[in-house]
Amino acid sequence: MYSIRRLRCQKCELIHHELPDCLVPYKRYQADVIETAIDDPGGPSDLPADDSTLLRWRDWFYTLAEHWLSFLISLIRQQKWELPVNGLSDRSLSVRQRIGQMVGGECGWLSRIVQPLANHHYWIHTRSACLSGNG
């Protein structure tokens, strides 16, 4: 069980939730497990998820990665962070390689994407409610 702190920004007066670096919003596995599945399409057999889950994670990542990359570039420019943004739109590189150029390719790269996006309210949630009948 995790305790997520709620913080009010003194600048914008919005409430932000402090996301621990081991979590990915709305996912039930740790970020490093999802990251391993994305990085190794053959997939190590010791991951604690079935093949359909691994496939869904990869599909989820590659569906949203361009979107995340755009928001990260926007955040870097808005916040005037000292991170490179040149070459990130180079389509000769895969989206995973471009993200690696921005946040590094070593272990923890998914957390380094997720945290700023979620903490700045750029995370698109994957929950949905479905009502049936006349209700």
- Helix H or strand E encompassing 17: strand 15-17
Please state, in angstroms and rounded to a whole number, the distance separating the CA atoms of residues 71 and 91.
17
What pLDDT, in 10s, does the model give residues 55-107? 999 999 999 888 888 888 888 778 777 766 665 666 788 888 888 888 888 88
- Specify the pTM: 0.70
Query: Quick one: CA dihedral 99, 70, 124, 122, positive or negative?
Result: positive
Query: Is residue 7 scored above 60 in pLDDT?
Result: yes
